[in-house]
Amino acid sequence: MSTTTDKTSARDHDVQVMPERRDLHFLPPADRISDWHVAGPNVTQFMNALSLLFPAGERMFIDAVRAYRDDIPDPDLKKAATAFIGQEAMHSREHIEYNELMAQAGLPAHKLDKFVWDLLDVIKKNTPKSTPLAATIALEHYTALMGDMLLRHPEQLAGSQEDYERMWRWHALEEVEHKAVAYDVYEKCIGRGPRNWLERSGAMIVATGIFWPVVFSFYWQMSRADPKCRAEGWRGHLKVLDFTVGRQGYLRRLVPEFLGYFKYSFHPWQQNNAHLLAELDALVDDAETAYATHH
Ligand SMILES: [Fe+2]
Ligand SMILES: [Fe+2]
């Protein structure tokens, strides 16, 4: 991670972070796939449901940025775009392996994963070239906010099975590290005028209307298929509500920063949380040591 200054812009988001592709393996233990989270099986399946969105989602992000990579005028941003593609490819590879553990445990992972691929295919085939990139910057705002929340509130995962915890922290860190890349590609290659504001805001409204129903429907289907969740009954669902929108409210608390996206002058680095990335080197060491020890 290195910090440079974008001299072409006089805006207040001048902190620029250069992301770096890290080829890490996590291989979390298969026998904990349905109860790795400290808060129990239901929160585990909620996080697992999120993981099911990544392979198809990250493929869309990669394709959307790659479609404009040759048009990027600024060499630093081109380099960042390449690193962005590399990071998302690594996330996808690790989440495919993780999601496979769900399938092996008898959970409907393949069916739900296929639903996302089909859905994003329909969007890609029926919209102009800029739409997938607009959708990407909208969803990257979500991954950046959720990553930031996870890093600023380590109690969200503390005490969970450590390989799962480490994998989620790695993903959160890299989502923060590359949070502005797709956004900058959009601004540099497509524009930053009123029409672009309308497109990115519209994409956020549509993405929000699709994303959360899909996440909660996936959670529901996963929890119905998991004997541990069925044994928890309604108490288990209440734990997920507490975790997301209730007392803990890790999603509820994202609302103010989420709304910042609709400001005309929005830029992801207006929230400068780059200090969180100081943890990256230690996490990489831990992940490499754990992988070498277990395998
Ligand atoms: Fe990712
Ligand atoms: Fe991302």
Percent of the chain with pLDDT over 90: 93
Distance 57 CA to ligand 1 centre (A): 9
Residue 85 Cα to ligand 2 middle (Å):
9
234 alpha carbon – ligand 1 mean position (Å): 32
Q: What is the pLDDT of residue 14?
A: 55
The pLDDT tens digits of the residues spanning 59-118 come to: 999 999 999 999 999 999 999 999 999 999 999 999 999 999 999 999 999 999 999 999
| Amino acid occupying residue 177 | E
Give the Å distance between the CA of 55 and the centre of ligand 1: 9
What are the residue boundaries of the structural domains of the chain, listed by start? 24-294
Run of H or E residues at 171: helix 162-177
pTM of the model: 0.94
Dist. CA 266 → ligand 1 center (Å):
21
Find the 255 Cα to ligand 1 centroid distance in Å. 21
pLDDT in tens, 115-169: 999 999 999 999 999 999 999 999 999 999 999 999 999 999 999 999 999 999 9
Given a cut of 50, whether residue 7 has pLDDT beyond it is no
Whether the Cβ atoms of residue 287 and residue 166 lie closer than 8 Å to each other: yes
Cα 35 to averaged position of ligand 2 atoms, centre (Å): 26
Q: Quick one: average pLDDT of 3-13?
A: 45
Residue 138 DSSP symbol: H
How far is it, in rounded angstroms, from Cα 168 to Cα 151? 10
Res. 208: pLDDT tops 70: yes
User: If you measure from the C-alpha of residue 65 to the centroid of ligand 1, how many angstroms do you get, rounded to a whole number?
Assistant: 13
What is the whole-number distance in angstroms between the Cα of residue 41 and the centre of ligand 2? 26
- Ligand 1: distance of its center to the CA of 277 in Å? 15
Query: pLDDT tens across 235-279, in order?
Result: 999 999 999 999 999 999 999 999 999 999 999 999 999 999 999
Give 230 Cα–ligand 1 centroid separation in angstroms: 30
Residue 1, H or E segment: none
| C-alpha gyration radius of the chain | 19
